[in-house]
Amino acid sequence: MRLLDALLPWAALVVMLLAQWLIFIVVPTEAQMGIVQRIFYFHVPAAWATFLCFFVVAGASAVYLWKGSRAADRLALASAEVGVLFCTLVLVTGPIWARPIWGVWWTWDPRLTMTVILWAIYAGYLMLRAFGGADEAVARYAAVLGIVGVIHPAVLTTKEGGSGLTDPMMRTTLYVASLAMLLLAAWLVALRVRTARLEAEVAGLRRELDHV
């Protein structure tokens, strides 16, 4: 585990630098959409990272409800935090891409609306965890919300304005950028899990000192 923690940030950095080189230097400019199409290589990988994080929230929440594992609960919370971050990135990059293509910053397209609702569900999860206190019942309610959220029929797709992946190098760039984003998400989740574990250990030591 320690070896993985040490290698993960370096792997994320190397693949991210490779992705930037491909996006801004190598990949050709899409003929119809122009340079704005390059945001596709951030928008779609961020969507995939969002899905990964929220699926981890659901899985870890299920384990917590089943076994009462504190480690699973910490993983769920960390994944929700990172998932909301990437979902926010999806919602920010989407309008930037859509404005030159659709002529408006936002339309209430079902896919976009569902994505906003998905963001709201997990933002609510985080608010419940932040303001609900340390009661185990709050953690269990949040776990149920984390599972329900992933069942929500949000569709984070590549359809806004069309992908424009007409060149094989464009598809290669998308795959590399997606791997970079997933590695970054995994690293951030690992950092948050480690921080949460240390916070729990410090809280435990304080409780022991209070009883001395």
Whole-angstrom distance, CA of residue 65 vs CA of residue 79: 16
Which band of pLDDT confidence, cut at 50, 70 and 90, is reported for residue 212?
Answer: low
Q: Which residue has the higher pLDDT, 146 or 109?
A: 146
Q: 183-211 b/e with 16+ CB inside 10 Å = b?
A: bbbbbbbbebbeebeeeeeeeeeeeeeee
Which band of pLDDT confidence, cut at 50, 70 and 90, is reported for residue 1?
Answer: low
The amino acid sitting at 41 is Y
DSSP per-residue letters across 69-86: -HHHHHHHHHHHHHHHHH
pLDDT of 81 strictly over 50: yes
Work out the average pLDDT over 112-126.
Answer: 91
Helix and strand totals (H; E) in the chain? 6, 0
Return the pLDDT at 110. Answer: 75
pLDDT of 64 strictly over 90: yes
Is the pTM of the predicted complex or chain greater than 0.85?
yes
Task: Please provide the average confidence, as pLDDT, over all residues in the chain.
Answer: 85
Q: Per residue in 138-167, pLDDT tens?
A: 889 999 999 998 886 555 444 444 555 677
